[in-house]
Amino acid sequence: MSKQIRILIADDSAITRGLFEKAFVKNNFEIAGMVSNGRKAVDFCREVKVDAVISDYDMPEMNGVEAANILIHEMGIPVVIYSDDAKIKSDVLAAGASFEKKPSLQSFDETSIKFFTNKIRTIVEKSMQKGGFAAHHKDSDSDALDDIILPGEDFKVLCIGASTGGPTAVQEVLNDLGENFPLPVLYTQHIDVGADAKMVRWFNQVCPNIPMSIPKDGEIAQPGHAYMAPAEKHLIIDYIKNDLPVLKLSDEPPERFLRPAVNKLFRSAAKHYKKACLALLLTGMGQDGAEGCKEIINAGGYTICEAESTCTVFGMPAAAIELGAASRVLPRGNIGRAVLQMLK
């Protein structure tokens, strides 16, 4: 039997709280408590130890995202927010939480209960894991970066891939890159239709040092600017002009059900930039980006994977590390400084 996970349920509906309590208990969760809004969730977690918070989005006094910002960033507690409104997913991811579609309570049968609680368990367990692949890989959790082996090639492009928890991770890394960053930044984030433009606006508010935009097909990427793949389009490097990547928005089929896919961006960077490619694979569920990291390594480029200690979900970096496709594994707070050090 899998380990019991101790959770807090936050929902303003007493009926939903009751249904979820029975469902989670039946599937080997321990219910630490149940509250009716985000403010009460925060107050509860200051007094009682929980492994994770499972929360509705729309609640009075403090909604799920507002609470998640405190629970995740101040207390280090994983948060899964459920809603039947997919439009709020970008806000959820930006807060560092995980998003799940709220199951229909009218058809909340044994199968759907098991499916929902198993998905929650997978997310929470990956957030809680310690050690794992990163523990067996060279990983600097300290501030010392002196032992990084610097490649002998000048980098020409920085590629970033992320999924669950990615916006917050990318925000921190971009902020740490400071002003006048010398490379174009190409960024693929798993994102839903309609959320991409909103997320770019958010990035421009929180990362004014590196402006971000959704590129146009055929646009030449400029140094010191970030370009995020739009929803439902792969972002790839078509060719190079004067050392700068010419971008293509591709309608090629999804890869492993993902479009945009990190692998598509990373493979194109490996093909065109070879040793001059620097890539970051940050927090995210699944395996996307691992094969792309491998191709960058094989081409002579350099990859940095986020350490498990700071990942919301360790899936994507873990897959790359297991594949031998991580040149370096670093906690999020060290990644930006490492990049700058490598560009000196």
Do 111 and 156 lie in one domain? The reply is no
- Could you give the CA distance from residue 44 to residue 216 in angstroms, rounded to a whole number? 47
Q: Which of the residue ranges 206-210, 273-277, 299-303, 319-323 would you say has the lowest mean pLDDT? A: 319-323
Do 97 and 168 lie in one domain? The reply is no
Tell me the residue type at 39: R
The whole-chain average pLDDT of the chain stands at 86
Q: Is 146 strand, coil or helix?
A: coil
Cβ atoms of 305 and 169 within 8 Å: the answer is no
- Could you give the CA distance from residue 269 to residue 244 in angstroms, rounded to a whole number? 11
Q: Which two tokens stand for residue 261?
A: 């896919």
Residue 148 has pLDDT above 60, yes or no: no
Closest to 94 in 3D by CA, of 179, 212, 252: 212
pLDDT digits (tens, 9 = 90+) for 258-308: 999 999 999 999 999 999 999 999 999 889 999 999 999 999 999 999 988
Cβ atoms of 33 and 48 within 8 Å: the answer is yes
End-to-end CA distance of the chain: 51
Do 163 and 284 lie in one domain? The reply is yes
Given 83, 98, 163, 250, the catalytic residue: 163
Q: Is 325 strand, coil or helix?
A: coil
Tell me the residue type at 30: E
The CATH number given to whatever domain includes residue 94 is: 3.40.50.2300
Do 322 and 178 lie in one domain? The reply is yes
Q: What is the pLDDT of residue 151?
A: 52
Do 35 and 105 lie in one domain? The reply is yes
Given 190, 196, 268, 309, the catalytic residue: 190
CA angle, residues 146, 151, 156, in degrees to nearest 5: 115
CA angle, residues 251, 257, 258, in degrees to nearest 5: 60
Q: What is the pLDDT of residue 149?
A: 44
Bridge partners, 228 (sequence order): 187
Of 109, 128, 147, which one is at a domain's C-terminal end? 128
Of 102, 128, 154, which one is at a domain's C-terminal end? 128
Q: Which domain holds residue 78?
A: 5-128
Do 207 and 336 lie in one domain? The reply is yes
pLDDT digits (tens, 9 = 90+) for 77-135: 889 999 888 888 888 887 788 888 887 776 666 677 777 788 788 877 776 653 333 33
Do 269 and 332 lie in one domain? The reply is yes
Give the ranges where 207-304 is alpha helix by DSSP (H): 262-273, 290-298
Residue 112 annotated to the active site = no
Residue 163 annotated to the active site = yes
Do 124 and 165 lie in one domain? The reply is no
Of 128, 151, 180, which one is at a domain's C-terminal end? 128
Give the ranges where the chain is alpha helix by DSSP (H): 14-26, 38-47, 64-73, 89-94, 110-128, 132-135, 166-176, 196-206, 262-273, 290-298, 315-322, 332-343
Q: What is the mean pLDDT of residues 148-152?
A: 48
Do 77 and 140 lie in one domain? The reply is no
CA distances to 255, 279, 288, 297, 303 from 235, in Å? 13, 14, 14, 20, 18
The CATH number given to whatever domain includes residue 149 is: 3.40.50.180
**What is the count of structural domains for the chain?**
2
Do 92 and 202 lie in one domain? The reply is no
Do 123 and 145 lie in one domain? The reply is no
Given 11, 51, 196, 288, the catalytic residue: 288
Do 181 and 329 lie in one domain? The reply is yes
